[in-house]
Chain A
Amino acid sequence: MNVYLGGCAPQINILGVGNSTTMEVIKVARPGKFWKTESALAYFLLLPALVFLILFMFYPIVYVFFMSFFKVNKLAELVSFSGLDNYRYMFAKPEFWQIIVRSCVWTALAVAAKTVIGLIIALLLNVDFRGRKIARTLTIIPWASSVPISAMIWQWTYNSDFGLLNYTLQKLGIMSNPPIWLAYPRSAFFACLWVDIWCGIPFMALVFLAGLQAIPQELYEAAEVDGAGSLAKFRSVTLPLLSGVLTIATLLSILWTFNDFNVIYILTTGGPGTSTDILITYIYKYAFQYLRFGPAAAMAVITFAILLTVSIIYARNYFRGGEVL
């Protein structure tokens, strides 16, 4: 059957019947000049996304870069070139360095915990047991609910007078005098950290679970034949085959955790004092509370540089390992 698309249209012999014995792919339609190639059409179709990216990603990023080198008024308009003044101002503040260190510690601890707990949950959910579907559904709940709402619920939970956590600890006799979680720098930091971990575990667990299910069962059977125990199977089969997923999941988690504004701002607004502030909450304060967009932009550029460096290191390791998405 020959399909004609127009007067001078191409013919494609689909079924190979008629006079043709071989598949004939033949003339391609000759529409307008623009449609000459498939790639032109592809670019055309990508254009809306490109415009969107330029407007909402590229332009703000470039503008923030500019702002960081300018004196900026309270309407975020560039006033005059100020060189590195905004950077110098932030670098001269001891508090800024504490916040950088805290942001890194916050991210490292949260991502490590989310990875370990997420992996354990994924391994458990990968085992065939009764009620597995319900368990998987329950695992998703923290991720399915919005982070600000989860943070608000945790804020109530941590409330020392009316909160569920201290009430439960007292009723169960675990602590007669439970701490006031958000009152002191260390406990407030770990209280926030736990909420971030709680919100992030489902994503890690689900991604790892998907990775685990992609590992061929034969490999485990072969390992068993070789006399490998559970730990050896995990070390020699599961981990190496999960490394690609681990890399991507932890990279995403690093980026999200480093920029997790909601949890800290809702639970403590960075307090007591500034003891739970991380870079993102500090940037927010400078930009939208103090209207000092110059130093805020300098901090945003520093955050960008930190996360870009981490991403590049990750990408290099990932592709060096031969993993391709």
Chain B
Amino acid sequence: MKRRLLLVSVILVLVLGLSVSALAQKKVSVLWMEYDGLTPDYALNLEKAFEEAHPEIDLNIISTPWDEGHDRLITFIAGGQPPDLAVIGTRWLLELLDMDVVEPIEDWLSEDLINNIDPALMEGKIGGVLYGLPVAAGTRLLYYRSDLVDKAPETYEEMLEMALKIHNPDQKFHAVGMSGQKYVELTEHAYYLFGNDGYYFEMLPDGTYGKCTVNDEAGIGAMTFMNDLVNTHKVTQPGVTAYRRDELQDLFIAGNLGFFMSGGFTATMLEQRGATFEWDVAPIPHFEGKPQSSLIVTDSIVLFKDSKVKEEASKFLDFFYSDPWRLEFDKLIGFPPVTKSLADDPHFQTPVYQVLIEQIPGSKGWPLIAEWPECNDIIWDNIVAAFLEQKTPEQAMNDAAQEIDSIRGM
């Protein structure tokens, strides 16, 4: 009887102890984006390791595919349940500031951490205040089949010349990959537009964005070239409007594309999936007589005002930005490091990273305007209309610019 009583008492104490410790734990939720190349194991291991290091904190990493990330975050916010931290495309930051939901993250970062970030990558600094801590930043690359062409094209005109030679649709081999289905951002268009020295908006002297300029000479020139690749020279994969960006990547990895522009993560994917052909990378081409310019994409981590565990969230950031975890993260996603302490790591001295880094000075980022998601869709719909030959490239870009200016009240 005594033994039973003792056993019951021990169990009760254990259960109570566990309950109390569970109640004492503070919960930190992180909306986490699934980068290409980033394995699910990474997030699971990070969560486990952090909780072992900080038993007082219950970390909940909510993994989300990139193309659903924005809408999921908005749903959380609109429902009054934002996570504590979220990985975002830095271009969403203006929208979040407009909603007044993000906290100046700089107030919660340790000095060591903030000093370890390359200031050039702090796109999430708005009005001198850092709201978004860079989590990934990288330019884009031209991937090409080095077994089929002698050297990488420097200009789009050269790329077309080579494409006409290697295009072989009968063998399901297409020279240039082009996407026409919406997938996060209209990156394809940015490669051609920036390569023609164009941009989406005129920049006003006060640093704000003026009228939409996709219908200026550079914009129409870029769109005309893209349309010619699809409809005149027909050197892209057929039915471009059915392809998302990630599907093009699969096509290149499967050996069905000659030229394809993407981020550093494609190199990781090519290695992970054991591509059997020879490939190489080069800077994004530009049009003849125009400066080379790549798209630079930065993603940031933001802290939400409603978070009741800002200190604990800050501890997670310190943990995640420690060298071992950041190195593994950067390796998997194929972006150059955002932390200074990893800049000299041997892993980042390969040709892929060299090209990614050397393009940074002339590169351009996405416009930081609150209405960008809608502007993005308007431009994309008009590009598709041109690809489907419902509009001429000029008409498509004129319509896009007019509609964008109209929704922005210009």
Task: Report A's interface with B, CB cutoff 8 A.
Answer: 73-76, 159-162, 180-185, 188, 268-269, 271-274, 284-285, 288-292
Contact = CB atoms under 8 A, between A and B. Distances in A.
A289 B377 contact: yes
Contact of B239 (A74, A162, A183, A268): A183
B238 A269 contact: no
Which of the listed residues B172, B182, B387 has the most CB atoms from chain A within 10 Å of its own CB?
B182
Contacts of A181: 242
A183 B180 CA distance: 9
Interface size class of B (residues with CB under 8 A): 35 or more
A185 B377 CA distance: 17
A190 B250 CA distance: 26
A273 B239 contact: no
B374 A289 contact: yes
B8 interface: no
Interface in B62-97: 70-71, 74-75, 77-78, 95
B98 interface: yes
B188 to A, nearest CB: 14
A132 B95 CA distance: 57
Given A160-B239, A182-B242, A272 B180 contact: yes
A76 B242 contact: no
B95 A74 contact: yes
B275 interface: no
A273 B388 contact: yes
A273 B384 contact: yes
B78 A76 contact: yes
B181 A272 contact: yes
Interface string B236-250: 011111100001001
A180 B374 contact: no
B381 interface: yes
B241 A184 contact: yes
Contact of A74 (B99, B180, B250, B385): B99
B241 to A, nearest CB: 4
Nearest to B244: A269
Contacts of A188: 242
Contacts of A272: 180-181, 241-242, 384, 387-388
Contacts of A289: 70-71, 74, 373-374, 377
24 contacts: A74-B98, A160-B238, A160-B242, A161-B237, A161-B256, A180-B238, A180-B239, A183-B180, A183-B239, A183-B241, A188-B242, A271-B181, A271-B384, A272-B180, A272-B181, A272-B387, A273-B241, A273-B384, A284-B71, A289-B74, A289-B377, A290-B371, A290-B373, A291-B74
Contacts of B70: 289
Contact of A75 (B77, B251, B370, B388): B77
B71 A180 contact: no
Given A75-B99, A75-B101, A288-B75, 8 more contacts: A73-B99, A74-B370, A161-B237, A161-B254, A273-B384, A289-B74, A290-B374, A291-B99
A273 B385 contact: yes
B77 A269 contact: no
A289 B371 CA distance: 10
Contact of B95 (A268, A274, A291): A291
Contacts of A291: 74, 95, 99, 373
Given A268-B181, A269-B182, A274 B71 contact: no
Among all A-B residue pairs, the 7 with the closest Cβ atoms: A180-B239, A183-B239, A183-B242, A272-B241, A182-B242, A290-B374, A273-B384
Contact of A271 (B101, B241, B370, B374): B241
A285 B180 CA distance: 18
